[in-house]
Amino acid sequence: MTNPNSRRSFVSKAVIAAVMAPFATFGKGFETAIGHAPKLSSPSSLKITKVTCGYIRGSLFVKIHTNQDIWGCGEGVDAIAGTYHLVKMLGASLEGKSPLNVYRLFEDIRKSGFFRGAQSGIYIAVLSAIETALWDLAGKALQLPVYQLLGGKFRDKVRVYCDTALYQHNLPTAADFAEAALQAKKMGFNAIKFDLDQANDPNKYDPYNWTAGPAELQRMFDQLAAARQAVGPNIDICADMHGRYDAVTAHAIAKRLEPLQLMWLEEPVPAENVEVYKLIADSTTTPICVGENQYLAYGFRRMLEIGAVDIVMPDLQKCGGLGEGQRIANLANLYYTPFAPHMVASFLGAMASAHVCAAVPNFMILEWQSYFHSQPMFKEIISYDGEWVSNSYITVSEKPGIGVEINEAGMKKYAIPGIPFFE
C-alpha cells in the first residue's frame, strides 16, 4: 500500500499543484533525486545484508552491513580466539532482518544457542560484538547517539581511571609504582589502577601455590604505599589481583591495605565462587570489586543478592553487549551498588562503553588504558575527530550511533594472519 504521507508523494503533489498540466515534467529531476536518496527515516525497509569481521590481537571487530549503505561496528575482547566461523554463523542468522530490533535479535541469538554455550565464554563475547554493532547501526539509521536509544543520559561525560600497565615491566619496584602514579597524575588522571599479581615474584612459594607469603604481601603493600605517598590522598587508587590468589591471601591483603583508602581491590580470588567473596567483603573496609569475567546479567544476580561485592565491573565487550551492560547496571542499582565497567578494548569499545555509563544512574568510573597513549596502533585502527580523554573524563559522542568508526585500511597491517579480514 502506498504511503500518502511519504516524501515522494508530498513532492509529487506539490509540483503538480504548482505548475499544472502543461508543465507536468517540471521538478521531476528533484523528485527523482529524492526518490534515490537513502531513506534513513524508513526503518521498515532497512535490512541486514551481511556480517563481516576482522581480528587484531585480543579484539574482534564486527561490521554489520545493510541494504541502505549504512553499517554498524562493534567489538568483542578476550574470549574471541578461533571464533571466525561462529561470527559468520550468527551473522547469517541476521540476514534479511531489521537491525533496529536490537533486543529481539539479541534474544534470538542467545536462545538459539542454549545448547551451543550461550551462557558465557566465546559465544557471549561474539554476541557482545554483534549486539554493539546493532546499536551503532540503529543509531546511524535513526540519527541518534546510542545513549539516546538506551533512554537518555544522566551525564555528558564519564570519569575514567588509568590502568598503568606496569605488568609489562619485569618486577616493578615501589619506586616504579610511584613514578607511574605521578605520570598518570601529570597526564590529568584523578584515578589510577595497578596490578599486584606478579608471577615472577621471587618470593612466591611455587608457580601453582595461590597463597602469598609475608614477603610477597609486603611487596604488594610497599608498592601501593609508594603510589599513595607520591600522589597524595585526593587521587583514587585501585589494585587488581586478576583472581590469582586464595581466600587466605585475599583476607590478608585486603586488611593490610585498609590504611591506604583504596577505591577498590579487584578480584583477589577467582570469580566463580561468590560465597567466598561474601566472606572477604565482610572482613574488610577495603571495597571489593568483581565482574570482568562474569557473563550476562545472570552472572551478577547471586553476588548482588548476597552482598558479596561492593562494586560490579562487567566488561561490556564480552558480558553480552551494551543493552546487557545497562541491565547489569540497573540490577546493581537495586542493591545500591556502583557500576564501574572493565575496558580493555580499542577506543571504539571505550566510547561504546561510555554511552552505557552515561545512560545509567549508578555509574562510578570506567577503565582507560595507558596503551592509548603509547601504542600508535590504537590511533590507526579507528577514526574519530574529537579529543579522546581530558582531565580523566571522556566526553560522550553526540554523533549518530557510537560516534567512532573503524579504519579498515589502518587495521589491516595488524590483522591476525590466516583469518579472513572483513570478507
Mean pLDDT of 319-324: 98
User: What pLDDT, on a 0 to 100 scale, did the predictor assign at position 193?
Assistant: 98
Helices within 287-346 (DSSP H only): 298-305, 322-333
With cell 615474584, the residue in question is 201
Cα(69)–Cα(62) distance, rounded to whole angstroms? 16
What is the rounded end-to-end Cα distance, in angstroms, of the chain? 37
Residue 116 lies in a domain: yes
Number of independent structural domains in the chain: 3
Q: Which own/partner pairs from 105-108 qualify as long-range (CB within 8 Å, at least 24 positions apart)? A: 105/131, 105/134, 106/131, 106/134, 106/320, 106/321, 106/323, 106/324
**DSSP track, 231-284:** H-TTSEEEEE-TT-S-HHHHHHHHHHTGGG--SEEE-SS-TT-HHHHHHHHHT-
Shared domain for 181 and 95, answered yes or no, is no
Shared domain for 195 and 272, answered yes or no, is yes
Query: Is the pLDDT confidence value at 7 over 50?
Result: no
Q: Which has the closest alpha carbon to 286: 312, 305, 263?
A: 263
Per-residue pLDDT tens over the stretch 373-389: 999 999 999 999 999 99
Binned at pLDDT 50, 70 and 90, residue 346 comes out as very high
What's the mean per-residue pLDDT of the chain?
Answer: 91
- Domain residue limits at 11: 7-37
Task: Provide the Cα torsion 364, 370, 376, 378; round to 10°.
Answer: -30
Shared domain for 132 and 227, answered yes or no, is no
Element of type H or E holding 290: strand 288-290
Cα(217)–Cα(274) distance, rounded to whole angstroms? 23
Q: Residue 186 sits in a domain of what CATH number?
A: 3.20.20.120
Element of type H or E holding 405: strand 405-406
Per-residue pLDDT tens over the stretch 191-240: 999 999 998 899 999 989 999 999 999 999 999 999 999 999 999 999 99
Q: What is the pTM of this model?
A: 0.89
Buried b (16+ CB within 10 A) or exposed e, 350-385: bbbbbbbbbbbebbbbbbbbbeeeeeeebbebbebe
C-alpha cell at position 390: 581530558
Q: Which has the closest alpha carbon to 159: 421, 332, 391, 317?
A: 391
Residue 159 lies in a domain: yes
C-alpha separations of 29 from 7, 19, 24, 362 in Å: 14, 15, 12, 53
Shared domain for 251 and 283, answered yes or no, is yes
Shared domain for 118 and 211, answered yes or no, is no
Shared domain for 71 and 108, answered yes or no, is yes
User: What pLDDT, on a 0 to 100 scale, did the predictor assign at position 11?
Assistant: 36
